[in-house]
Amino acid sequence: MIEYRNLRVALLGAGSVGAQVASLLLEHGPELATRAGAGLELVGIAVRDLDAPRTADLPRELFTTDAESLILGADIVIELMGGIEPARTLILQALGSGADVITGNKALLATHGPELFEMAEQVGAQLYYEAAVAGAIPIIRPLRDSLAGDRIKRILGIVNGTTNFILDRMDTAGESLEQALATATDLGYAEKSDPSADIEGFDAAQKTAILASLAFHTTVPLDLVYREGITGVTLAEVEAAKRAGYVVKLLAICERLTDADGVEGVSARVYPALVPRSHPLAAVHGAKNAVFIEAEAAGDLMFYGAGAGGVETASAVLGDLVSAARRHVIGGPGVAESTHANLPILPISHVTTRYQITLSVTDEPGVLASVATLFSEHGVSVEAVTQSVSSSEEGAHPTATLVIGTHEASEAALAATVAALGESAVVSHVTSVLRVEGS
């Protein structure tokens, strides 16, 4: 029996996620009310264009273009417009009026998160954002609550479905990057007009900033997240990785580390990396997402599921809505931001990892020795070298391909090594430099 008054829910945005949220809220209202302890009344949906086509059939009278008036009377505001403005201003207004806010806006959280959380704290309102990272996968609550008694060492995440789809096509169907991108665009995974948010790693970087902030209780600004996209990944690299027992994945990495000077800090970075085939992340195919967490006590955990999609992401939004409603009814804590640790954010040069470097070299005696010397001069220890079949063009010097796997080395030492390799007389060119993660 529900004795609490109805809660007024305002929705901003009716795109693929917003339309599904509205549709599910209208369809499952009574069931959600039972779980929340209060009726949930959708009082309106703010959109830019009243006549735009929608993916769900929604009552026309709910739509309005006047977002500001809509949020004024709301207990809970769901922001699913995306982008920085007017989303930022509307969320600040909503929080300012005492409403709890639910958002899936990763770009906004990654750039203006602290401002929004500060406003929420000042007025005692709550800001929920389960949908902002990894779509339907519950990751915010597990990090914030379930692992609150543990210390997170590292997170390796596949948090962008489009790039995972592309890399998976390259790996399983032998498509080139361009072909795989075209397939992704045809299937609606990639934006036709501008796929750069995905393939350049901007989307993954935003999610990395949010995850790292949460995992390490530290504000991680987006511009301190190191970022490389997948545009430089070649089919030859993917195929060579396959032969060597690896798969190439675009990883969002959040790591607690102590650098050479003994400074404890946080590294947040996004780049394509070699992942051993035996690692659970290697089995994440298609547009699926997964977040792999290494914690001091809990050990290795993985959360897997749909990282995007209207109805899938709507599930995360509605979970937040029920939590927000319960808090209205019973009171108590929501998803507060916690930045008490405030660790320094370390630049990529402080990171150490393993590398796999592919070189095209002159095939003559002494080359391996001189390449090996060059690595050791820069303090990079070689773990394994594979020399593959020589090829030579008519009249040219014969060449060979060297694949060099290193032990853990710093980014700084590696960058110096690669620069020196580029200038070496015996090296024709540096074909590929990839980091190895998850091993």
Which residues make up the interface to a second copy (CB under 8 A)?
20, 24, 28, 31-32, 34-36, 130, 136-138, 141-142, 145-151, 217, 280, 283, 295-306, 309, 311-312, 314-323, 326-327, 330-333, 338, 340
**Number of C-alpha atoms within 13 angstroms, CB side, residue 304?**
10
User: Minimum distance between the CB of residue 214 and a second copy, rounded to whole angstroms?
Assistant: 12
Judge whether 207 counts as a catalytic residue.
Answer: yes
Which residues contact residue 120 at a Cβ distance below 8 angstroms, ignoring those fewer than 6 apart? 95, 101, 126, 127, 337
By C-beta, is 62 or 302 nearer to a second copy? Answer: 302
175 is in an annotated binding site: no
| 161 annotated among ligand-binding-site residues | no
What is the token pair recorded at 386?
A: 């594979």
By CB atoms closer than 10 A (0-12, 13-18, 19+), residue 318 is buried
Query: Closest separation between CB of residue 401 and a second copy, Å?
Result: 32
State in angstroms the smallest separation of the CB of 293 from a second copy.
8
Q: What is the DSSP pairing of strand 7-12 with strand 427-436?
A: unpaired
Give, rounded to a whole angstrom, the gap between the first and last alpha carbons of the chain.
53
CB of 22 to a second copy, least distance (A): 13
Among 340, 134, 381, 138, residue whose Cα is nearest residue 219 = 340
Question: CB neighbours (10 Å) of residue 412?
Answer: 17
Q: Please state the closest distance from residue 25 (CB atom) to a second copy, in A.
A: 8
Residue type, 409: A
18 is an annotated ligand-binding site residue:
yes
Is 236 one of the annotated binding-site residues? Answer: no
Q: Which CB, 9 or 74, lies closer to a second copy?
A: 9
Q: With both helix axes pointing from N to C terminus, report the angle between 106-123 and 87-96 in degrees, rounded to the nearest 10.
A: 20
The catalytic position among 153, 192, 207, 242 is: 207
Is the Cβ of residue 33 or residue 177 nearer to a second copy in the bound state? Answer: 33
- Tell me if 12 is assigned to a ligand binding site: yes
User: 């006590």: which residue's tokens?
Assistant: 297
114 vs 309 by CB, closer to a second copy:
309
Cα separation, 106 vs 85, whole angstroms: 13
- Backbone dihedral angles phi then psi of residue 13, each to the nearest 5 degrees: 105, 135
- Looking up tokens 């010097």 gives 397
What are the contacts of 44-48 at 24+ separation with CB within 8 A? 44/10, 44/11, 44/70, 45/10, 45/11, 45/12, 45/13, 45/14, 45/18, 46/10, 46/11, 46/12, 46/13, 46/70, 46/71, 46/81, 47/13, 47/14
In the complex, least distance from residue 388 CB atom to a second copy, rounded to whole angstroms:
30
Query: Is 156 annotated in some ligand binding site?
Result: no
Nearer to a second copy, 28 or 88 (CB): 28
Cβ at position 220, least distance to a second copy in Å: 18
Strands 246-258 and 152-158: antiparallel
Q: Which is nearer to a second copy, 309 or 405 (CB)?
A: 309
**Of 87 and 321, CB closest to a second copy:** 321
Whether 52 has a binding-site annotation, put simply, is no
Q: Give the whole-angstrom CA distance, residue 398 versus residue 352.
A: 35
Listed residue (253, 302, 263) closest to 435, CA to CA: 253
* 196 is an annotated ligand-binding site residue: no
> How many C-alpha atoms does 165 have within 13 Å on its Cβ side?
23
- For the annotated binding site, the residues are 12-19, 106, 191
As annotated, the active-site residues are 207
Binding residues for NADPH: 106
Annotated binding-site residue numbers for L-homoserine: 191
